Every structure is written in structure tokens, then in C-alpha cells.
Amino acid sequence: MPTYEFRCQNCGQVFEEHQRVEEHGRQVPACPQCKSSDKVEPQLSRFHAVTSRKA
């Protein structure tokens, strides 16, 4: 199971979570620090992705 890195925009915490590939992108884990998943965004450290689709 791959490990993904996430960053919480709420408190700035960066953490890693094991996720299945099919889960990744559909759900985000809760931040271990502030327990919120609202502002958690995946960090694309393993992949070079084009994230230019910002509204």
C-alpha cells in the first residue's frame, strides 16, 4: 500500500497516510493535529502532477 503525504492547510501539519490507490483522491484523512479533514490536501511528492486546475 503506498504512502501518501498530506498537508493540512488549516494548521500546516504535514503527515503521511497509507491509502489504497483507489482511495487516494476520493477521500482525505483527518489531520492528526487538528482532527479536521476539511483543509487537508494531498502532497504530490511522488508524482509530478499538473495542478493548475484551480477555479
Judged by CB under 5 A, does residue 8 bind Zn ion?
Answer: yes
Whole-angstrom distance, CA of residue 29 vs CA of residue 16: 9
DSSP three-state, residue 7:
strand
Judged by CB under 5 A, does residue 34 bind Zn ion?
Answer: yes
Judged by CB under 5 A, does residue 9 bind Zn ion?
Answer: no
Judged by CB under 5 A, does residue 11 bind Zn ion?
Answer: yes
Confirm if 32 and 15 have CB atoms less than 8 A apart.
yes
Judged by CB under 5 A, does residue 31 bind Zn ion?
Answer: yes
Binding site for Zn ion (CB under 5 A): 8, 10-11, 13, 31, 33-34
